Every structure is written in structure tokens, then in C-alpha cells.
């Protein structure tokens, strides 16, 4: 198949995590997002969690006002978040599962089990012009369900692949990569746009970036961490370089 262009979405949630550790206004995630755009990010991702542990409502307002490019607004499928999304109408809305007690988004959304509710939930978002993406595991049942409810995009959860890589469990890593490879092709055949993300680093991004159907990678925690050592612009440039090298 034809290899599609690959975009980088930079998730700036953890700039807000650092800000919130002290309260106050610094460091400003909106400033980081504008700088990330200037550094070559194709879009910005932000997750407004129910408990507002990092990104705040004011950050979303600030991002909508300041960004030149698209905002990918990550949110749980709650009434409150739907209202916020419909007020701002970001370019994309990515529906993620959310548990209060989790440290990060641990798994993909159970679309197959909640198909009817989710179909009703995303309809007004689509009518408002948002591209609706569903964050799911590389699982055929979930992809089919995402397709049936009318999502335009799926984002494949790369967490299990990245964890296996980081822990040196190379058999498990190969197995997770095989699932991502097969399911990216399966989703693309259904006409879904394929994104991927969670836990990606310079060391493990290459094989995911090389999947020809994947059109966007959303990467946050590693880039924000790496920015401490080399600055945000070089951290993003290096991620892009590795992605592009893997793609070619």
C-alpha cells in the first residue's frame, strides 16, 4: 500500500503537571504548545481529565485562542466533557477511558460493550464538525465497533508495546508490534484513519512510525521529560527526525 504522510501531535499535559505541582501559572502549557507548533508539531493534544490533575478548563480556552494548527482534545465520554467540546469545537476529539485512580490512561476504550451509548454520544460531536477519534487497544472487535459507531479515526494504544520494550521483554514486544501492524492494516481497510500513541520514546517509536497506515503519532510524556535536558524545540526536532527516518 501507499505510505501516507505521518504527523506528530505533541501532548502538553505534563507541562501542566509541573505547573500544578506548585500551583500558580508556570510553566504555561499554552506557551509550550505554541513553541511546539513552531518546532514542527503538526498538532497539539491535551487531555482535560475529570479531576483536572493537569490541563485545566482555562488551558483549553487558551489553546483554542493561541494555536494556529489543530487541537486534539482528549476526553472521557461524559456529559460534562461533551458540553465543553461542543462549546470549543476543536479540530478533533479523542475519546479515552478514564479512571480516577489511574496514573495514566491504562487501556483502550471498551467500544464493543458500549456501542449504542457511544454512537449517540459522538453523533453531536461529529455534527459540530469535530473529527472523532477513539482510543483503543489493537483488537479487531474494538476496531469493528469503532467503525460501526461512526468514528472517523482510531488511535491505537501503544502502551503494552512500549512497556515490553522498556522492560526488555522482546518476545512480548514483537508480539505487541505484530498486533499493531495487523490492526493498523485492518482499520485502514475499513476506511478508518489510524493514529497511535502512549509511552512512545526515541528508542521505540521507529517501528510504529514505520507502519504505512499510521498517519499520526501523539507523544507527550517522553517529549516533555526530554525537554528538561535539551529544550522543547530540539526534543521535538529529534522525535520528528527519528519518525521520518523510520518512515523512509
Interface positions with ligand PXP (CB under 6 A) = 11, 13, 47, 74, 94, 96, 104-105, 135, 155, 197-200, 218-222
198 given a catalytic annotation: yes
Least separation in angstroms between CB 167 and ligand PXP: 15
Q: Which is nearer to ligand PXP, 42 or 155 (CB)?
A: 155
Q: Which is nearer to ligand PXP, 2 or 94 (CB)?
A: 94
Least separation in angstroms between CB 161 and ligand PXP: 12
β strands within 48-192, DSSP E: 71-75, 92-95, 131-136, 153-157
Q: Which is nearer to ligand PXP, 139 or 155 (CB)?
A: 155
CB 217 within 8 A of CB 6: yes
Least separation in angstroms between CB 36 and ligand PXP: 13
198 — phi, psi (to 5°)?
Answer: 110, 115
Q: Which residue has the cell 476506511?
A: 191
Q: Which is nearer to ligand PXP, 73 or 186 (CB)?
A: 73
Out of 74, 155, 176, 226, which one is annotated catalytic?
Answer: 74
Cα diameter, the chain: 50
In eight-state DSSP terms, residue 197 is E
In eight-state DSSP terms, residue 5 is P
Out of 14, 47, 157, 195, which one is annotated catalytic?
Answer: 47
Q: Is the dihedral of CA 187, 188, 189, 192 positive or negative?
A: positive
54 — phi, psi (to 5°)?
Answer: -125, -85
Least separation in angstroms between CB 39 and ligand PXP: 16
Q: Which is nearer to ligand PXP, 82 or 105 (CB)?
A: 105
Question: Which contacts of 32-36 are long-range, i.e. CB under 8 A and separated by 24 or more positions?
Answer: 32/224, 32/232, 33/63, 33/66, 33/67, 34/66, 34/67, 35/232, 35/233, 36/10, 36/12, 36/232, 36/236
74 given a catalytic annotation: yes
Least separation in angstroms between CB 55 and ligand PXP: 10
Q: Is the dihedral of CA 58, 60, 63, 64 positive or negative?
A: negative
Out of 54, 198, 216, 226, which one is annotated catalytic?
Answer: 198
Residues labelled catalytic? 47, 74, 198
Amino acid at each position: 500500500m501507499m505510505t501516507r504522510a505521518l504527523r506528530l501531535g505533541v501532548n502538553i499535559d505534563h507541562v501542566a503537571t509541573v505547573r500544578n505541582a506548585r500551583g500558580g501559572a508556570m510553566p504555561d502549557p499554552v506557551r509550550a504548545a505554541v513553541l511546539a507548533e513552531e518546532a514542527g508539531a503538526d498538532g497539539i493534544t491535551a487531555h482535560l481529565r475529570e479531576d483536572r490533575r493537569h490541563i485545566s478548563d482555562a488551558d483549553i480556552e487558551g489553546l483554542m485562542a493561541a494555536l494556529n494548527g489543530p487541537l486534539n482534545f482528549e476526553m472521557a465520554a461524559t456529559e460534562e466533557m461533551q458540553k465543553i467540546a461542543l462549546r470549543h469545537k476543536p479540530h478533533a476529539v479523542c475519546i479515552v477511558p478514564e479512571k480516577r485512580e489511574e496514573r495514566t490512561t491504562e487501556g483502550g476504550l471498551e467500544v464493543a460493550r458500549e456501542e449504542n451509548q457511544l454512537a449517540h454520544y459522538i453523533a453531536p460531536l461529529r455534527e459540530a464538525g469535530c473529527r472523532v477519534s477513539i482510543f483503543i487497544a489493537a483488537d479487531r472487535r474494538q476496531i469493528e465497533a469503532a467503525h460501526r459507531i461512526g468514528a472517523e479515526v482510531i488511535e491505537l494504544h501503544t502502551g503494552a508495546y512500549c512497556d515490553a520494550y522498556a522492560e526488555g521483554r522482546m518476545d512480548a514486544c514483537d508480539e505487541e508490534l505484530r498486533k499493531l501492524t495487523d490492526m493498523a492494516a485492518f482499520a485502514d481497510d475499513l476506511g478508518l484513519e489510524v493514529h497511535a500513541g502512549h509511552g512512545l520514546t526515541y528508542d521505540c517509536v521507529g517501528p510504529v512510525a514505520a507502519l504505512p497506515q499510521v498517519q499520526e503519532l501523539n507523544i507527550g510524556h517522553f517529549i516533555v521529560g526530554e525537554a528538561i535536558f535539551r529544550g522543547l524545540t530540539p526534543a521535538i526536532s529529534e522525535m520528528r527526525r527519528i519518525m521520518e527516518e523510520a518512515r523512509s
